[in-house]
Homo-oligomer: A and B are copies of this chain.
Amino acid sequence: MREGARILLSHGSGGTLSRQLIHDLFLDAFRNEYLAPLNDQAVFSLPSTRIAFTTDSYVVSPLFFPGGDIGKLAVCGTINDLAVGGAEPLYLSASFIIEEGLLFEDLKRIVASMAETAEQAGVQIVTGDTKVVERGKGDKVFITTAGVGIVGEGIALSPASIRPGDVVIVSGCIGDHGVAVLTCREGIRLETPVGSDCAPLHGLARSMLAAHAGIRAMRDPTRGGLATALNEFAAASGSGIIIEEEAVPVREAVQGACELLGFDPLYLANEGKLVAVVPKNAACSVLDAMRGNVLGADAAVIGEVVSDHPGRVTLKTAIGTRRTVSMLSGEQLPRIC
8 closest residue pairs by CB, A with B: A15-B328, A14-B224, A14-B223, A146-B146, A55-B93, A144-B144, A41-B54, A41-B85
Q: Establish whether residues B14 and A328, one from each chain, have CB atoms under 8 Å apart when the complex forms.
A: yes
Closest to A51 in B: B46
A327 at interface (Cβ–Cβ under 8 A)?
A: yes
A109 at interface (Cβ–Cβ under 8 A)?
A: no
Partner among B44, B132, B133, B146 whose Cβ is within 8 Å of the Cβ of A51: B44
Chain B residues with CB under 8 Å of A46's CB are 46, 49-51
Chain B residues with CB under 8 Å of A56's CB are 95, 129
Most-contacted residue by chain B among A48, A49, A57, A335 (CB, 10 A): A57
Partner among B37, B85, B328, B330 whose Cβ is within 8 Å of the Cβ of A43: B85
Closest to A219 in B: B40
Count the A residues whose beta carbon is within 8 Å of the partner chain — how many? 83
What 1/0 mask marks residues of chain A from 21 to 43 whose CB sits below 8 Å from any chain B CB?
Answer: 00000000000000001111111
User: For the complex, what is the distance from the CA of A95 to the CA of B74, rounded to whole Å?
Assistant: 13
- Known A-B contacts A51-B44, A53-B41; the reply to A133 vs B334 at CB < 8 A is yes
Q: Copies per complex?
A: 2
A284 to chain B, nearest CB (A): 26
Closest to A39 in B: B85
User: For the complex, what is the distance from the CA of A220 to the CA of B41, rounded to whole Å?
Assistant: 12
Which of A135-143, A186-194, A292-300, A301-309 participates in binding chain B?
A135-143
A interface residues (Cβ-Cβ under 8 A, vs B): 9-10, 12-19, 37-59, 61, 81-82, 84-87, 91, 93-97, 126-129, 131-134, 136-139, 142, 144, 146, 148, 151, 157-160, 219-220, 222-224, 228, 232, 236, 327-332, 334-335
A47 to chain B, nearest CB (A): 7
- Known: A13-B332, A14-B328; 15 extra A-B contacts, CB below 8 A, are A10-B331, A13-B224, A16-B330, A39-B157, A41-B53, A41-B85, A43-B87, A45-B50, A53-B93, A55-B94, A55-B127, A55-B129, A57-B129, A136-B136, A138-B142
Q: Establish whether residues A131 and B224, one from each chain, have CB atoms under 8 Å apart when the complex forms.
A: no
User: For the complex, what is the distance from the CA of A246 to the CA of B334, rounded to whole Å?
Assistant: 54
Q: Establish whether residues A19 and B327, one from each chain, have CB atoms under 8 Å apart when the complex forms.
A: yes
A-B contact pairs, 19 of them (CB 8 A): A13-B330, A13-B334, A15-B332, A18-B224, A39-B85, A40-B84, A41-B52, A42-B53, A44-B51, A45-B49, A46-B51, A49-B49, A55-B127, A57-B129, A136-B136, A137-B139, A138-B138, A138-B142, A148-B148
Closest to A49 in B: B46
User: For the complex, what is the distance from the CA of A335 to the CA of B55, rounded to whole Å?
Assistant: 23
Chain B residues with CB under 8 Å of A138's CB are 137-139, 142
Q: Establish whether residues A42 and B54, one from each chain, have CB atoms under 8 Å apart when the complex forms.
A: yes
Q: Establish whether residues A53 and B91, one from each chain, have CB atoms under 8 Å apart when the complex forms.
A: yes
Partner among B45, B139, B331 whose Cβ is within 8 Å of the Cβ of A133: B139
Closest to A47 in B: B49
